[in-house]
Every structure is written in structure tokens, then in C-alpha cells.
Copies of this chain bind each other. A is one copy, B any other.
Amino acid sequence: MVQYAKARLDASFAALSDATRRGVLEQLGRADASITDLAEKFHMTLTGMKKHVGVLEQAGLVTTEKVGRVRTCKLGLRGLEEEAAWIERYRQVWDARFDELDKIVEELKRKEKVDGRKKRE
């Protein structure tokens, strides 16, 4: 369904909207970690951290595997390709929109016979 990608963006952006979860991703970028490791690092209960990991896992950003007593968390198979793509596309639209504005400003300036240098980098 078309809804699928949309729901995925919902989930991943929501996952990224929490500082703790962004921190967990950065941490897992450095090394795999158990729930206990992460809970300690971020000063919260095991249960609390497990929920965060659940959110990240649901969003496909983290995978976990339990061996013995220990559940090890690592970065998921999915990168943030779709999210990066959405943002990139948006940035293009945004740039275009302001280029348009710049053009209008340029036009006005030229009409005023003012030698205007580009304002926006």
C-alpha cells in the first residue's frame, strides 16, 4: 500500500523526536549494548529503556537479539535513507521557494537601480 511508506516515516521521525532515543542510536553506532548498559548510560529503569528500544526496533532502526539472559541491541538493517530523501526533497522545495523570493527582490532592486549583491548564501 502507499500508506506503508507514510506510516514508516511517521514511526521513524517519531522515534527521532526523543533525545534519549537519538542518544541510543549514537551509542549503538559506537558499540552494541545490552538493555542494562543503555539504561545505566541514560539514567533510567530497565523497563523504561526497554520501551525506548522497542520504539526504535518498531521503526526498524534497531535490531535486538537475546542470548541467554542478555538482549543485545545493535543498529538496524535500515539506515535513514527514506528520511534523508524526504528532507532532501523538502530542502529543494524550500530553496526554490526562497530563490523565487530572491528573484523578486532582485527585480525590485534592479528597478530601483540599486546594485544589489546576493543576500542569501
User: What residues on B are CB-neighbors of A97 within 8 Å?
Assistant: 29, 75
Known contacts: A14-B14, A19-B9, A22-B9. The answer to whether A88 contacts B84 by CB under 8 A is yes
Known contacts: A79-B95, A87-B84, A94-B75. The answer to whether A17 contacts B10 by CB under 8 A is yes
Main secondary structure of the interface of A (DSSP, over half): helix
| CB–CB A10/B19 < 8 A | yes
**Size band of the interface chain A makes with B:** 20 to 34
How far apart are the CA atoms of A96 and B30 in the complex, in Å? 10
| CB–CB A80/B84 < 8 A | no
Knowing that A79-B94, A84-B88 are A-B contacts, what are 17 other residue pairs whose CB atoms are under 8 Å apart, sorted by A's residue number? A9-B16, A9-B22, A10-B17, A10-B19, A13-B16, A13-B17, A16-B86, A17-B17, A22-B86, A25-B90, A29-B93, A29-B97, A30-B93, A75-B98, A79-B95, A84-B87, A84-B91
